[in-house]
């Protein structure tokens, strides 16, 4: 049976960026590194000056508080930690899921965390459903990275794309949704359908930047030059930077430009080592003005 534990006290801690989803162990060579949206987006938000809290699940052998001391955790303990194995070929990823931690629900979220200015829902392995949205009120921005609702896995753990069940009920409520074109196998007809319902949808496209959809309008925002070393987590880094800038400044195109800049650092180093400082971001932004194309 799973149980709840908090590696550090939560009393009195008020986050301004709350993320909900599984932390992961990613298989690399003969070992593991910590991964998942909680890790990449959480550490990015920390680097951008946010007080970050996360609601997650992990096995007893994984001390998330020690691994990520800059993030405050509420943890549901499980028999195992969600574990992924990623293989890249020609810029495309093949993925296996080797273990899945416990489901997440409303009971895990401390009352004081439910009003965070940014709430980032980040399902990775169907650890919660759309009902999680009802746990929050009074937030400044409700962001979603729905990749975990767009994947399934077979008996061998091989991850495949699948249909998002009843997306309309979520897209209409969330303030901003970020996903990659790879999440839907490049189905732009499907993505435009999502955009027609969503308040704000951003589709990341790797070295081609991203497309921003809002209220019937669309913009292509160019990527920053980068020498790719490791693309793992870049979309999560983008999302955290996008949500943060959007809350602070309100302009989705400028937020996408900013997030493209932050993500360009993330791909230039292994794992989380590429997450940049605010000073490095400012220098790169100054060197590369916004380049965009109005699509509609």
In this predicted model, what pLDDT tens digit does every residue of 152-164 receive, in sequence order?
999 999 999 999 9
Place of tokens 């959007």: 246
More confident residue, 167 or 136: 167
Q: What is the pLDDT of residue 277?
A: 97
Q: What is the pLDDT of residue 242?
A: 98
Angle at CA of residue 214, ends 43 and 128, nearest 5°: 50
Where do the domains of the chain lie?
3-294
Instruction: Give the whole-angstrom CA distance, residue 82 versus residue 23.
Output: 7
What do you get for the CA distance between the two ends of the chain, in Å? 52
CB burial class (10 A; 0-12, 13-18, 19+) of residue 156? exposed
Angle at CA of residue 139, ends 137 and 140, nearest 5°: 150
In this predicted model, what pLDDT tens digit does every residue of 23-53 receive, in sequence order?
999 887 778 889 999 999 999 999 999 999 9
Examine the pLDDT at 4 and tell me if it is beyond 50.
no
In this predicted model, what pLDDT tens digit does every residue of 110-120 receive, in sequence order?
988 999 999 99
Please state which CATH class domain 3-294 belongs to: alpha beta
Instruction: Give the whole-angstrom CA distance, residue 17 versus residue 116.
Output: 6
Instruction: Give the whole-angstrom CA distance, residue 125 versus residue 123.
Output: 6
Examine the pLDDT at 1 and tell me if it is beyond 60.
no
**Do residues 222 and 292 make contact, with C-beta atoms less than 8 angstroms apart?**
yes
Q: What is the pLDDT of residue 234?
A: 96
């Amino acid at each position: 049976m799973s149980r709840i534990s908090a590696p550090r006290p939560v009393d009195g801690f008020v986050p301004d960026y709350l993320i909900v989803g599984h932390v992961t162990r990613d298989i690399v060579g003969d070992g593991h590194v910590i991964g998942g949206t909680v890790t990449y987006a959480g550490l990015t938000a920390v680097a951008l000056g946010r007080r970050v809290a996360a609601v997650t699940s992990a096995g007893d052998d994984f001390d998330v508080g020690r691994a990520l001391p800059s993030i405050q955790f509420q943890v549901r303990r499980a028999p195992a930690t969600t574990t992924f194995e990623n293989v890249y070929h020609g810029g495309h990823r093949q993925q296996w899921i080797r273990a899945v931690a416990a489901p997440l629900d409303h009971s895990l979220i401390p009352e004081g965390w439910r009003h965070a200015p940014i709430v980032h829902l980040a399902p990775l392995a169907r650890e919660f459903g759309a009902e999680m949205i009802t746990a929050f009120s009074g937030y400044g921005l409700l962001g979603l990275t729905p990749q975990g609702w767009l994947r399934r896995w077979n008996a061998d753990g091989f991850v495949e794309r699948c249909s998002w069940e009843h997306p309309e009920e979520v897209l209409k409520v969330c303030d901003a949704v970020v996903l990659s074109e790879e999440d839907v196998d490049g189905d732009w007809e499907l993505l435009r359908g999502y955009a027609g319902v969503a308040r704000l949808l951003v589709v990341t496209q790797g070295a081609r930047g991203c497309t921003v959809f809002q209220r019937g309008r669309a913009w292509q925002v160019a990527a920053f030059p980068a020498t790719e070393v490791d693309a793992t987590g870049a979309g999560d880094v983008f999302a955290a930077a996008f949500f943060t800038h959007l809350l602070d400044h309100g302009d989705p195109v400028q937020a996408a430009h900013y997030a493209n800049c932050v993500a360009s650092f993330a791909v230039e180093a292994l794992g989380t080592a590429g997450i940049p400082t605010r000073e490095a971001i400012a220098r790169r932004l100054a060197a590369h003005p916004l380049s965009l194309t109005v699509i509609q």
